[in-house]
């Protein structure tokens, strides 16, 4: 079995690809000794090589393994005589590239469809408002809301961070909450931001008053952080939403 597959492998290299053992080994980033071992039957031709020949050059994996059918499909089969002539070789490589591109485009489309499907999540939004004072009436009308479009402005720059500590409780941010943050947004006065101060991450409200810049805690038992030129500080992100568990 190994001898038969090895012979077919040698036929492909010599009569279809028309390249030497050394050139073939270099193309596959292997050694000439390994190629000789495959073609002599001392070692089995790896399935990865058979897959490579099928994907890159249109060589039939079934023919390679069993000898059944044609070595190549009619669409990609070049003109083969004793040697592969120049026009046939060019036509073969063009067809092989077109086949590979078609497969890659199909795979990319499939992955994009899956990505879009997995990242779109909708829930019904009821038209009734919730009153925090006097109770109001309820109706059953609703519309579907895409949570990704509602919560995420810049998908490629947004991520979720966990909150540890109670310095922002009066801003509605508690220990254990999750923050949806935008790493590309420019921090503005009054916004809640994620900053790295001396290598440690903290969430605070950014306050700019004249020449002063302060990272303000929203809990009176915690001290504010006044930024000075000697401090090692970096603004990481702007907080967009707080996700809470009840």
SS (H, E, C) 161-218: EECCCCCCHHHCCCCCCEEEEECCCCCCCCCEEEEEECCEEEEEEEEEECCEEEEECC
| Per-range mean pLDDT, top range of 52-56, 192-196, 226-230 | 192-196
Q: What is the CA radius of gyration of the chain?
A: 32
Q: Is 40 a catalytic residue?
A: no
pLDDT at 126: 52
Give how far Cα 46 sits from Cα of 58, 117, 217, Å. Answer: 17, 36, 62
Binned at pLDDT 50, 70 and 90, residue 79 comes out as: very low
Overall average pLDDT of the 226-238 stretch: 88
Give the global pTM: 0.47
pLDDT at 150: 66
Q: Is the pLDDT of residue 6 over 90?
A: no
pLDDT at 168: 94
Catalytic pick from 10, 60, 167, 216?
A: 167
CA distance 104 to 132: 55
Dihedral pair phi/psi, residue 99, rounded to 5°: -60, -45
Catalytic pick from 204, 212, 216, 244?
A: 204
Q: Each residue of 43-53: pLDDT tens digit? A: 888 888 888 88
pLDDT at 134: 55
Q: Is 20 a catalytic residue?
A: no
Domains and CATH numbers, the chain: 2-112 (no CATH), 120-151 (no CATH), 154-243 (2.10.109.10)
Q: State the DSSP H helix or E strand holding residue 95, giving kind and residue range, or none if neither.
A: helix 86-118
Burial class of residue 39 (count of CB atoms within 10 Å of its CB; 0-12, 13-18, 19+): buried
Which residue has better confidence, 60 or 114?
60
């Amino acid at each position: 079995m190994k001898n038969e597959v090895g012979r077919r492998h040698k036929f492909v290299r010599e009569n279809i690809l028309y390249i030497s053992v050394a050139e073939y080994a270099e193309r596959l980033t292997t050694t000439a000794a390994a190629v000789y071992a495959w073609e002599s039957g001392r070692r089995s031709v790896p399935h990865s090589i058979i897959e490579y020949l099928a994907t890159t050059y249109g060589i039939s994996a079934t023919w390679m393994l069993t000898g059944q059918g044609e070595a190549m499909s009619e669409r990609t089969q070049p003109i083969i005589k004793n040697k592969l002539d120049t026009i046939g070789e060019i036509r073969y490589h063009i067809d092989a590239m077109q086949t590979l591109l078609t497969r890659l485009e199909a795979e990319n489309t499939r992955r994009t469809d899956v990505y879009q499907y997995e990242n779109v999540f909708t829930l019904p939004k009821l038209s009734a408002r919730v009153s925090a004072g006097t109770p109001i009436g309820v109706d059953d009308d609703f519309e579907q809301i895409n949570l990704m479009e509602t919560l995420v402005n810049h998908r490629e720059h947004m991520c979720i961070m966990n909150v540890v500590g109670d310095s922002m409780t009066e801003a509605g941010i508690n220990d254990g909450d999750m923050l949806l943050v935008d790493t590309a947004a420019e921090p503005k006065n009054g916004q809640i931001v994620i900053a790295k101060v001396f290598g440690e991450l903290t969430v605070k409200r950014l306050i700019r008053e004249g020449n002063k810049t302060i990272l303000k805690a929203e809990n009176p038992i915690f001290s504010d952080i006044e930024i000075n030129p000697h401090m090692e500080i970096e603004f990481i992100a702007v907080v967009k939403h707080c996700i809470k568990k009840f």
